[in-house]
Amino acid sequence: MAEGANARGPAGSPRVPRAHLPALVVTIVIALVGPLFVASYSLAMGDPVPRAVPVAAVGRAADEALANGLDASGDEYRVEEFASASTALHALDQQQVYAVLDADASPARLTISTASGASIARSVELRQDRIESLLGAKLELVDRHPLAERDPQGLVLFYLALGATILGFIGAIQTRINSTDMSLRAILGWDVVRSLVVAGSMTVVIGPVLGLESFPVAPAWLLLGTTMFVSAMVYSFWRVAIGGRWALLPTWITFVVIANPSSGGAVAPQLLPPFYEFVGRWLPSGATVRVLRDITYFPDEVHPEALVVLAVWLVVSTAAFIVAREVRSRRERALIIRPTAAVAVDGGVEGRAT
């Protein structure tokens, strides 16, 4: 029977023409991924709730006022008592605590850090009147690390990381589609060039040109370039491992569905559900957001863990792509011995026995 719009199955029911099956599969896959995408962002950031957020108290009176004022007897906040204001403020600078109440200061002082987490700082600030009532003194509110004037919600760094990951694999997709005969060296070379050029334009426009953030240009440029390259390598690995048709799916799930909402850029990690708080610490998007935040607002307290995480992703994703491509090339060369129909894929040949 000829395939066509009126083809029917054994029972006489309409059957999808074979040529249309890929479209049907894509429709079903997107129908499944769409709700997953929306649900992931909604579950992660739709209802942020503090969980054991560390705050510092200087003095016994501050300890009690802060604990009762923030309802620290529950699971939302954890009050840590410090012997001096200097040590407590140092912990705030290192992002080990998110607020400091100093009852020994004159006047008593509540210090927050919106750059560490704007949502947490606002939550503490909203309880200022209650803390003052329990302490029996008027508080001076100080923001030790304020956000940029043009980024009051602290979202620009998140958008930079989001853009870097998405443009990283989108750029790789378009390069592979439009340049099918490149060698491995050319593929890696153009991925590096593309990542650095795009990251450079993003950094310069968002920083010096528009003035949305005041990060150091060179470190931010290299960081975003690395993030874009990692994203490209992850896509490239899947393209070789499972084929170009479906490589976008696991890449999209990794970066867009899981990594970006768990990055801690839009909502502080301590306000995310436990799963997102945990995975965000070990994924490229979370590492990028943390390093961007550190070099922008805490240049003297850059945490090495996030740099190590990003470096591991860089090495492992690149190595995985190279190894997978070499394994596939060897299999294809073995197939060439037999009569084949050759199809160019990523600069190699995918043989199909005829």
pLDDT, one tens digit per residue, over 95-146 is: 999 999 998 888 999 999 999 999 899 989 999 999 999 988 899 999 999 9
Phi-psi category of 8—alpha, beta or left, where left has phi over 0 and alpha has psi -120 to 50? beta
Q: How far is CA 140 from CA 110, 168, 217, 271, in A?
A: 6, 45, 35, 26
Strand partners, 342: 351
The pLDDT tens digits for 271-311 are 899 999 999 999 999 999 999 999 999 999 899 999 999 99
Residue with tokens 């249309």: 20
**pTM to 2 decimal places:** 0.85
Whether residue 97 is found in the same domain as residue 220 = no
The predicted-structure confidence for 70-105, as pLDDT tens digits, reads as follows 876 667 889 999 989 999 999 999 999 999 999 888
Q: Which residue, 89, 114, 143, sits at the end of a domain? A: 143
Which uninterrupted H or E stretch holds 343?
strand 340-345
Same domain, 291 and 185: yes
- The alpha carbons of the chain give a radius of gyration, in whole angstroms, of 26
Whether 298 and 269 share a structural domain: yes
CA 27 – CA 21 distance, rounded (Å): 10
Convert the pLDDT of each residue in 244-271 to its tens digit: 888 999 999 999 999 999 999 988 888 8
End of a domain among 121, 143, 165?
A: 143
pLDDT in tens, 203-260: 999 999 999 999 999 999 999 999 999 999 999 999 999 988 889 999 999 999 999 9
Q: Which of 192-206, 290-304, 330-344 has the lowest mean pLDDT?
A: 330-344
The reply to whether 218 and 303 lie within a common domain is yes
Other beta carbons within 10 Å of 200: 17
Q: Cβ of 174: how many Cβ atoms within 10 Å? A: 11
User: Does 188 share its domain with 314?
Assistant: yes
Are 263 and 122 found together in one domain? Answer: no
Structural domain includes residue 43: no
Dihedral (CA of 75, 76, 81, 82) sign? positive
Q: Which domain holds residue 64?
A: 53-143
Number of Cβ atoms within 10 Å of the Cβ of 123: 22
First and final C-alpha spacing in the chain: 24
Residue 191 · residue 172 · CB < 8 Å = yes
> Taking 70 as the threshold, does the pLDDT of residue 5 lie above it?
no
Whether 229 and 343 share a structural domain = yes
Q: Are residues 202 and 332 in the same domain?
A: yes
Cα-based distances in Å from 82 to 86, 91, 144: 9, 10, 18
pLDDT of residue 311: 97
**Does any domain span residue 42?**
no
Establish if 219 belongs to a structural domain: yes
What confidence category does residue 313 fall into, taking pLDDT thresholds of 50, 70 and 90? very high
Structurally, how many domains does the chain consist of?
2
Same domain, 61 and 173: no
| Mean per-residue pLDDT, 52-72 | 86
Q: Tell me: the pLDDT tens digits for 163-188?
A: 999 999 999 999 998 888 889 999 99
Is residue 331 a part of any domain in this protein? yes
**H or E segment to which residue 77 belongs:** strand 77-82
Which CATH number covers residue 60? Answer: 3.40.190
What are the backbone angles phi and psi of residue 110, rounded to the nearest 5°?
-110, 115
Is residue 350's pLDDT more than 50?
no
pLDDT at 3 over 50: no
- How far apart (Å, rounded) are the C-alpha atoms in residues 308 and 37? 28
Q: Are 210 and 316 contained in the same domain?
A: yes
For residues 121 and 204, state if they share a domain: no
Q: Answer with the residue of higher pLDDT: 261 or 337.
A: 261
Give, as one character, the DSSP assignment of residue 351: E
Residue 28 lies in a domain: no
Give the residue from 117, 143, 169 where a domain finishes.
143
In a domain, 321, yes or no: yes
Q: Is 36 helix (H, G, I), strand (E, B) or coil?
A: helix
Query: Which residues, in sequence order, are bridge partners of residue 101?
Result: 57, 110
Looking at residue 14, its pLDDT comes to 60
Helices 60-69 and 128-135, packing angle to 10 deg: 140
Pair 131, 195: CB distance under 8 Å: no
| Residue 24 domain-assigned (yes or no) | no
Please report whether residue 294 resides in a domain: yes
Q: State residue 341's pLDDT score.
A: 47
The C-alpha angle 161, 164, 170, rounded to 5 degrees, equals 140
Distance (Å, rounded) from C-alpha 282 to C-alpha 160?
18
- What is the C-alpha to C-alpha distance for residues 340 and 354, in angstroms, rounded to an integer? 6
Q: Are residues 137 and 69 in the same domain?
A: yes
